[in-house]
Structure 1
Amino acid sequence: MATIYEVSKLAGVSLATVSRVMNNNTPVREATRLKVLAAMEELGYRPNSIAQSLASNRSNSIGILVSELYGPFYGAMISSIEAEFRAAGKHVIIAAGHSEESTEQDGIEFLINRSCDALILHVEAVSDDYLIKLSQSDTPIVLINRQIPAIQSQCISLNNKLGGYLASRLLLEKGHRQLAYISGPLWKTDAKERYRGHQLALQEYGLQPDERLFFEGDFHESGGSDGVAQFLQQGLHFTGLICGNDEMASGAMTEARECGLDIPGDLSIVGYDNVMLSHYTYPKLSTIDYPIAAMGQMAARWVLKHIYQQDKLDVQLVFEPKVIERDSCISLAPTLG
């Protein structure tokens, strides 16, 4: 079996240079890197990952904890993180927290015990105090969709209050005044902030929220369909509906059509996230763009920059939502006096 010494001899470089190429943690001239890789291939040399870890004190693996493993939202996030690390020669270990405090803590402990060099966390149930304390441990962390002032430099976040405001303003600008709202679980910060944005938009137009036209959903398709069913069973009139995410908006659209409503003729609907399914609903869903893939990429770059010393990488911490207008909402005809 070939050794690192034989690789360095064939490539005509030092052992340190071979090590830098294998660990991919220090810049090496491209011509030199190619010589080392060619020598490794010619000799059939495969680096011993355990030996590499002992030599560099790094496992070259990063732990990712997300709320769920299914659905387009989390799929886009995980894919972008993994792709960024794969390009840098790193590997990921993934666990799910299921938005439960004990499960999130168990997942974090599992990843730490796997000697991950850093953790990327999309967590909702553990407290800010827990995460602040965790940030002081030996394993660095970076948070997605969480804003904690005490560790702000480790948070990749979206302005969800602005997103909620933009979603409601889209319908208000089109003349809608009877607005219904289906939120995610309000114990979740992002759901609460989006609803606050909705309230701010109503206030700007001199309107008060109608409690009868509010439904607390679950961020799943069933939450959207249940909300619309409740509104219609109560005989409530509304021309516009804002949903806390695209999945609930999809359920709402299905329920509305099954109840005989035309979209957008009878009911205009706006979602939130801009996940892939928003392109394939009928009609295509107007929504708020949540750049979760870019945020996942930035979390990976944060780790590469701060843990693996890839200093030239730029990292964006705060993202702004934007309106994506499609076919699910229309302007109301002005009422004749």
Structure 2
Amino acid sequence: MPTIKEVSELAGVSQATVSRVMNGSDRVTDATRKRVEAAMQRLGYRPNSAAQSLASNRTNAIGMVVSELQGPFYGPMMAGVEDVLRRARKHLIIASGHGEEERERDAIEFLINRQVDGLILLVERIDDAELLRLNERVPVFLINHHVTQLHQRTTWLNNELGGYRATRYLIEHGHQRIACVTGQMWKQDAQERYQGYRRAMQEAGLPIDDDWVIHSFFEFEGGYQAFETLQQRKLDCTAIFASNDEMAFGILEAADNHNVAVPDQLSVIGFDNIYTANYVKPKLTTMNFPMYEMARSSAENALAAVYQKRPIQEVVYEPTLVERQTVRQL
């Protein structure tokens, strides 16, 4: 069985350099790294991960908690984190919290028990005080959740600006009777997108009536039910801002069932720009949520802070408009 000494001799480097390559250290040049990797491959050398962990007090693994392990939103998030970690020769361990406090807590404890070197969290129910206590046990990096004391480790989307821009786009197209369908209001992003809607309406001097705001939930059925509620209230709205794309799809389906033509009779704008937004009919106008890019930024911050001991800072993204076919000019 080949040894690290044989690898170092074949590569013409010290054993310490071979160890640095195996541990993903940035203190090794690309040329040296390639030479060591070629020697390892030629000899068929496989590092002992347990021995590496004991020697470095690292597992070379980052844990990640998401709400779900499926769907068009969390898939790109998980892929973005893994792409960055894999290139740095680190591993990703994923657990889901399903948006429930105890399950989120269990997922976090599961990962800590696996001795991950850091945690990337997309949690919804764990409060700020608990996140701060958790950060004392293992470095925590947050996606789209604001904790003042952890702001440098946060990657987030300006949801308020996105809600404002979406509503402003409808106003600029001549709409004044604009309904808003929100997600669950205990969620930070739902609150912020709703605040953006309110800011745009107030800035344009348009009244905000509670009857025009439907507090629903971030799923297809949430949008479908919201449209039915608007119909029952007999509100003559010309446009709807849906706080995510899945709700917008429910609105499109319900509108079709009521023979309400989109966009001729009703304009609809969503939020997230999940990949299916380009395949519904008509294609959905929406605000882009750069999920993959945000996840990559969070992973890069985790690598820098945990393994390279470099200072990091929060990363803020702005949602951008994706114009398609569901909004018309009045």
Give the TM-score, by structure 2 length: 0.97
SS in 1 for 2:326: coil
Q: Distance in 2 between matches of 1:105 and 1:189?
A: 19
Amino acid at match of 2:288: D
Structure 2 counterpart of 1:48: 48
Structure 1 residue 316: Cα displacement: 5.6
Q: Distance in 1 between matches of 2:315 and 2:31?
A: 34
Structure 1 residue 14: Cα displacement: 0.6
Deviations 1:149-174 (A, max 9, x none): 12111111111111111111111111
Q: Distance in 2 between matches of 1:123 and 1:327?
A: 33
Structure 1 residue 26: Cα displacement: 2.7
Contact 2:153–2:312 (CA under 8 A) maintained in structure 1: no
Residue correspondence of structure 1 range 1-337 to structure 2 within 5 A: 1-137=1-137, 139-309=138-308, 311=310, 317-332=315-330
Structure 1 residue 105: Cα displacement: 1.0
- Call closer, same or farther: CA 1:229–1:104 in 2, change over 3 Å: same
SS in 1 for 2:268: strand
Contact 1:4–1:18 (CA under 8 A) maintained in structure 2: yes
Structure 1 residue 34: Cα displacement: 2.2
SS in 2 for 1:247: helix
Q: Distance in 1 between matches of 2:194 and 2:110?
A: 34
Deviations 1:96-115 (A, max 9, x none): 11111111111111111100
Structure 1 residue 260: Cα displacement: 0.1
Contact 1:174–1:330 (CA under 8 A) maintained in structure 2: yes
Deviations 1:148-206 (A, max 9, x none): 11211111111111111111111111111111111000011110111011011111111
Q: Distance in 2 between matches of 1:272 and 1:310?
A: 36
Structure 1 residue 326: Cα displacement: 1.4
SS in 1 for 2:52: helix
Q: Distance in 2 between matches of 1:276 and 1:79?
A: 14
Structure 1 residue 50: Cα displacement: 0.6
SS in 2 for 1:161: helix
Q: Distance in 2 between matches of 1:202 and 1:158?
A: 21
Contact 1:26–1:310 (CA under 8 A) maintained in structure 2: no
Structure 1 residue 315: Cα displacement: 6.3
Contact 2:59–2:115 (CA under 8 A) maintained in structure 1: yes
Contact 1:142–1:155 (CA under 8 A) maintained in structure 2: yes
Amino acid at match of 2:125: A
Structure 1 residue 128: Cα displacement: 0.9
Structure 1 residue 310: Cα displacement: 7.3
Structure 2 unaligned spans of 5+? none
Amino acid at match of 1:235: K
Structure 1 residue 277: Cα displacement: 1.1
Q: Distance in 1 between matches of 2:80 and 2:32?
A: 29
Q: Distance in 2 between matches of 1:209 and 1:25?
A: 56
Q: Distance in 2 between matches of 1:314 and 1:83?
A: 20
Give the TM-score, by structure 1 length: 0.95
Q: Distance in 2 between matches of 1:316 and 1:73?
A: 22
Contact 1:25–1:310 (CA under 8 A) maintained in structure 2: no
Q: Distance in 1 between matches of 2:237 and 2:152?
A: 42
Contact 2:305–2:312 (CA under 8 A) maintained in structure 1: no
Structure 1 residue 314: Cα displacement: 7.7
Amino acid at match of 2:18: V
Structure 1 residue 31: Cα displacement: 2.6
Structure 1 residue 329: Cα displacement: 0.1
SS in 2 for 1:307: helix
Kindly report the root-mean-square deviation, in angstroms, between the aligned alpha carbons of the 2 structures.
1.4
Q: Distance in 1 between matches of 2:203 and 2:105?
A: 41
Q: Distance in 1 between matches of 2:85 and 2:309?
A: 12
Contact 2:64–2:92 (CA under 8 A) maintained in structure 1: yes
Q: Distance in 2 between matches of 1:136 and 1:285?
A: 43
Amino acid at match of 2:115: S
SS in 1 for 2:307: coil
Q: Distance in 1 between matches of 2:179 and 2:29?
A: 59
Contact 2:164–2:199 (CA under 8 A) maintained in structure 1: yes
Structure 1 unaligned spans of 5+? 333-337
Structure 1 residue 92: Cα displacement: 0.6
SS in 1 for 2:296: helix
Q: Distance in 2 between matches of 1:67 and 1:14?
A: 45
Amino acid at match of 2:204: Y
Structure 2 counterpart of 1:335: none
